[in-house]
Structure 1
Amino acid sequence: MLDATAHALTHRLAVEQSRGRAPSMAGAVLRGDAVVWSGTRGEVDDAAPTDDTQYRIGSITKTFVAVLVLRLREEGRLSLDDRLDEHLPDTPVPDATIAHLLAHSSGLPAETGAPWWERSDGAVRPDLASLVAEPPLRAPGRRHHYSNVGFGLLGALVGHLRGHDWFTAVAHEILEPLGMDRTTYHPTAPHAAGWAVHPWADVLHPEPAHDAGLMAPAGQMWSTTTDLARYGAFLLHGDDRVLPTRVVEEMRRPSAPSEAGDADRSQGLGLQLLRHSGRALAGHTGSMPGFVATLWVDPAEDLAAVAFANATSGPAIGALVAELIGIVAEREPRLPRPWRPAVVPADLLALLGPWYWGAAPIALRLRGTDELTIGGLGGGARTSRFSPREDGTWVGLDGYYAGETLRVVRRPDGSVSHLDLGSFVFTREPYAPGEVIPGGVPDDGWR
């Protein structure tokens, strides 16, 4: 990290701690697998906090629960399209699927009934029925509506299928493999105390830290900048001991739409998605009484950033963390991987180049040996990436053709006739006589 970049990061953290009137603040930036900057401001117990000082991470807890659910899916214990009542007896919301709950599109209310779960002991909600005070607001899948209750139910689902509580699963299945030994259910010293800051004066009021009980999967955990940076590396690259890269990428894809009027935000599977200054970020914000926290990752720049403050309100932590990523990305942009030639089979090489959908030209390109792209020649065409299947077909990874199958159709003599992409036919010449084109081709050709 250049000295000027490190100073800019420290300055941004210092400005937010002062402007937001936070008793203390801590932040870190990770690139690849290494923390490249960390900083703190303010005081905890009359001393500066350190990278080892715990803060409550609030709803970042939800992402750990989502990882556990996807681990169960990978083991074949459930499908994301399963209804919750197929796996969790006595659930009060049988119609919602597991995917709906992960993406906050289950139709459930945001909160439990009174008393507010963040400020009351979890013992007042002794069973699953007590989490849902009102019927669903709408049918599952209709729209995104953030629901803390939904993640209380997902935590119960994990506990039921694992045979022990959800946090025991977090500890054994995520924290231990990733080396996150300072991430805990209850705070362990050194840790910050939570405070409310008076809106009109520079004085403090202590905030409670109750055990949320059945609602704990929505926001109970405590962590440090060092530990959450390690977790950020996992959300960037995956880890086969926890979840492979392809599943982490699945978590980062949109699974529910933006709220009306907020096109920059959407929801993945347990992860919040944010467009900030042209960058696509994934992660989660968090708040509990006395604390705010955010973790964002930027896969394009291989960056992760985290920040905490021990104030109920005031600091704009979500924007701060996005800007920490932006500072590094702008001042020290990621170097692309060096280009190297690849060994490409002759029959695959022969497929590349221009093709035509009717009269519209497209280009088929290969990057390395396992990423085929379709893109326009002259703009306006749909663009998608494809990966190979064992049967010789290719499956779309993104864009209009995501999930669609690309097939090479051959004539009886083995020569290539055309490409079939979800019934779209691509030929080597536009409307050539004798080609397979929907609607037929006049015998007299162009005129």
Structure 2
Amino acid sequence: MAVVHHTGVLIHIAHCLRSTKDVLSLLQALPRHALDAPLAALLTLLTTPETLRVVERSWPWASIEEYGHDDIATVFAALPIFRSVQINCLHAFWAASEPHRPATWGHEVEFIPSDGSISRNRNVSALLRLLRLCPNLHAIVVHIDRSDPALTASILQAAQHVKRIHFVTPDQTEYNCGNWRPLFAEWLASGHATHLGIIGLTCDDNVGFARAIAAATSLTSLQLAVASGVLQGLVDVATPLKAITKLRLAAPNDSMSLEPFVTNLIDLSALQVFDLSSDNELDLTFGLALLPRLGKLKELELTHCNLRAVPALPEAPAHLRLLDVSYSSMNDETCLGLLHWASQSPCLDTIWLKMCDTVSRKPVLFASYLRRWITGSVTFVALDRCELDEKSVIAIATALCDACRSSSTFSLRLDFGTLDVDAYDALFEALATCNGVKIEVIIVYSP
């Protein structure tokens, strides 16, 4: 039992166990006197019903704010055993952790959401101190307070060691942050900046800001929404962003700069995630025209886009895993062409179709793709708000009949709306003939 004296080995084993029941069995198999303080504290959490439920929800991460006041001391004693500290609600976290010094556990924090209530909270200085005491902080989401821009600048200054920074304005309208460019430039030049997300932000020197973004060789992920000034700055600078592999863009009302930015300044052959959206259903067909150049694409998301036609496409990228088409306007030919393209990927795993009329307008053709996904490697298909009718439900039921999965389970999520009982019967009768298939039904009741 020499392993008992090596807590690090036990921690590694515990992290490899997905079930808290298995973790509990591991600890109970060891002599109680051999458990050090953190392991004993974790054993207490796992043998107390109220705390066990909290541990189960987040293991191997610790969500401190979810525990009761009487349990906090035990949680902090057990922190060395958890993989990291997870902060979901900063306000609740303050209340729970205030008596405990972050200097002893700050290295376990990987993510902090700085919600909009910070500027009105007496713990502003504590937040800035916490940021500096979390050397392993991976990501921070900053909600900009227009009434106190100096606070946001202070947060950015204190978070220079973070890898991923995401800025969001509360009403998602463009806010001029003034002279923050030097703060961004310092972080972008640090060598550890990997993701920059900007929703509703511009500055006095967008060209300088764009140069700093383009020069950041460590930056592999970029998200821009309601940031037309920054986007135009990138086009004006005209420096390729060769390191970007994940790109999420929301088209501004004036989308003139969007197409040249994506087409000319992004290395499309290296792009793995491409997320294109619009608030006003702008014509973003150019995104489809780029698909033949996206050889390493793994995830494609199209939201609120107006897509006129799919060009002649070669086989889908060999690595495509996810296709998400949400609330986008397109004719049936375009939609079916996109499904045909994606279905050719041997790695295709997840498909989300939201408010897609083709499902009901072309039920037989859609069902043929569904059958292909069920009998292939796809594990999840969601049809949300697709206005299913009797014909489309029968077609879906036909695709399900006698389907057999030899490995992973296939899940079909359906938003039924107001369909009658007969529709349910047809699906469940078909499901009874399947093996390794399940249906998740979402019933929306009209008020």
Structures share fold, TM-score greater than 0.5: no
Higher relative contact order (CA 8 A, sep 6+): 1
TM-score (norm 2): 0.25
- Report which of the two has the higher share of strand: 1
